[in-house]
Every structure is written in C-alpha cells, then in structure tokens.
Amino acid sequence: MRYSLSALALATLASASPVSIEERQGNSGTGPFAPAGYYTSDALEGHTFYAPQNIPSDAKLPVMLWGNGGCSADATGQAPFLTELASHGVLVIASGTPGNGGGTTAEIMTQSIDFITSNAGQGDWANIDASRITAAGWSCGGIEAYAQIWDDRVQSIGIWSSGLLDNYTAANDFTKPVFFFLGGPSDIAYQNGERDYAAMPAGVPKWKGNLDVGHGGTYTDTNGGKFGVIGGYWVEWILRGDSSAADYLTGDGAKNDGWTVEYADLENLSVSPIE
Ligand SMILES: *[C@@H]1O[C@H](CO)[C@@H](O)[C@H](O)[C@H]1NC(C)=O
Ligand SMILES: *[C@@H]1O[C@H](CO)[C@@H](O)[C@H](O)[C@H]1NC(C)=O
C-alpha cells in the first residue's frame, strides 16, 4: 500500500482500495509534493481523490474540482494530468470513479463542494483548506465546472478546451476569474472558449492560453505533458497563492512552451500565500 504516511491518506485508506498511479501510468507527478496518486473513499462515494501520497502535517492543501472529458464517470481518464496537479500541493476531487463507464452531471461536482466544505479542517481532512476552491474540467467537464461559478464557495473556474454551449450570454454576468486553456483553432471548443473570454465583463480577471494540440490536449502524456506543466503553475498561483508561479502563465515560460496567451484585469486577482 503506497498511501501510508499522511493523516489524510491513512484514515481514508482504511476504507478505500487505493490504486497507485505509478503502477498504471508510470508517473506520479513532478511538483514539490510528489509523488501523488489517487484513491477512492467511502466518505464520498462516486468521486475520486488525487493527492500527494505524503502530506507534511503542517501543510495545507487547497481544492480543485474536476469534470472529466465527455462528462465521463471514469475519473482516471485524465489521471496523469490530475496526478501532476495534485503533486503541486492540491487535493483534486474528480467526479466519478476509476474506470467507471457511466456519465456525470454538474450536481456530482457540487456534491464535492458540499463534502469538502463540511469536512475540511477536521479528522481525515485536517490538512484541507476548503476556503480555496477552483472548479475545472475538460470539454463537457468544463460545462460542469462553469455551472459552479454561481456558488459562493468557489473562487475561480478553469475551462480546459471548453466553452458554453447554449446559454452563452451567462459569460456577460461572470464575476469570478476564469482561466481558459484551449487547443488552438483546430480545437472543436476553440470558438466557444474564445467567445466566452471575450464576453466576460471588464474588471473581472481572465486569462486565456492556446496551445496548438487540438481538442485532445496532453492529459494522458507523461505527467500530463504541457497541460500538466501549465496546470501545475496555475494551481500554485491561484490556489496556493504563489505569485511567482503566475509569471509562467503571463510571461516567457508559457510563451516558450508554445502557448499563445492573452489576459486582462489580473491585477484584480489577489490570492494570499496558503498557510
Ligand atoms: C447554463 O444553463 C444550464 C441549464 O440551465 C445551467 O445548468 C448552467 O448552470 C448554465 N451555465 C452557467 C455558466 O450559468
Ligand atoms: C479592477 O481593478 C480596478 C483598478 O484597481 C478597479 O477600479 C476596478 O473596480 C476593479 N474591478 C473589479 C470588478 O473589481
């Protein structure tokens, strides 16, 4: 059993059957909290947690919710990417369970918020800071994430190769930061994401990057490939409050990796370092 040292893992593992990402995918993240992996827990059925395998007792982890591509209930479809993000010191709660062939809804993501806001800071979840939550997802999963933007418990949204499908004027009313990671003009969601970015009101922080890889992204490359790299900096910035990580997204780092970046009103985004 690989999850053994942290209080979080210990307690949840008592009732879970952990699956090590190393055994299945040959990678476990490159962030400062690596190695990371995933597990399920009876405490919240129908969901999958990605976390560092060893969490220092004095460390706090913020939370990223994840909606899978295709709104699939297979919470391991993007496992290398999600493991990479977890290794940067984040608890990821993906909708669904490992290998599940069914589907998910936005409500399943909302259940993750209900669960973690009622349990963070206590018992098995003592290391979790649920005052820092971002909702994110790929493609159809991005629509599930968008649906959380009206929830006061969520501070920001990550749209990965996605965009609103019909009620797109909703973007005119967004008041929270939205980050768009798109696959360039050949990405089927490119127009949707571009349109939402443009529709957001002035003053609300927004960031958009395009990497010419199409709709499929790099989620299943080792450690999530270039999406894993930028995702790691992103969570360190917007969830852990490391302002130096922002430099990758707004400066030469992302550009040198092939991203075409645009952003506005980021000065209105303030995140204090997590403690
Ligand atoms: C778009 O409309 C659907 C259906 O009414 C809703 O569930 C969803 O939350 C809306 N999205 C946003 C971002 O408001
Ligand atoms: C964004 O920041 C500017 C300058 O600090 C401020 O005038 C404006 O009200 C802010 N907008 C929002 C939506 O907070």
- How many angstroms is it from 8 CA to the middle of ligand 1? 34
C-beta 102 within 6 A of ligand 2? no
Say if residue 1 is exposed, middle or buried (CB neighbours under 10 Å; 0-12, 13-18, 19+).
exposed
- Phi and psi at 133, nearest 5°, equal -130, 130
pLDDT mean by block of 10 residues, the chain; 275 residues: 32 39 65 95 96 94 98 97 97 97 97 98 96 98 98 98 95 98 98 98 98 97 97 98 96 98 96 93
Domain 7-268 fold is Rossmann fold (3.40.50)
pLDDT digits (tens, 9 = 90+) for 177-193: 999 999 999 999 999 99
C-beta 264 within 6 A of ligand 2? no
Q: Report strand pairing: 61-67 vs 128-138.
A: parallel
Query: According to the model, what pLDDT value does residue 26 have?
Result: 56
Nearest ligand to the C-alpha atom of residue 264: 2
C-beta 175 within 6 A of ligand 2? no
Determine the residue of 110, 151, 154, 167 to mutate for testing ligand 1's pocket, defined as the one with the most ligand atoms within 8 A of the Cβ atom: 167
C-beta 272 within 6 A of ligand 1? no
Residue with tokens 């004095």: 58
pTM over 0.85: yes
Query: According to the model, what pLDDT value does residue 19 have?
Result: 46
Query: According to the model, what pLDDT value does residue 27 have?
Result: 80
C-beta 246 within 6 A of ligand 1? no
Query: According to the model, what pLDDT value does residue 2 have?
Result: 31
Query: According to the model, what pLDDT value does residue 66 have?
Result: 98
Query: According to the model, what pLDDT value does residue 270 have?
Result: 85
C-beta 265 within 6 A of ligand 2? yes
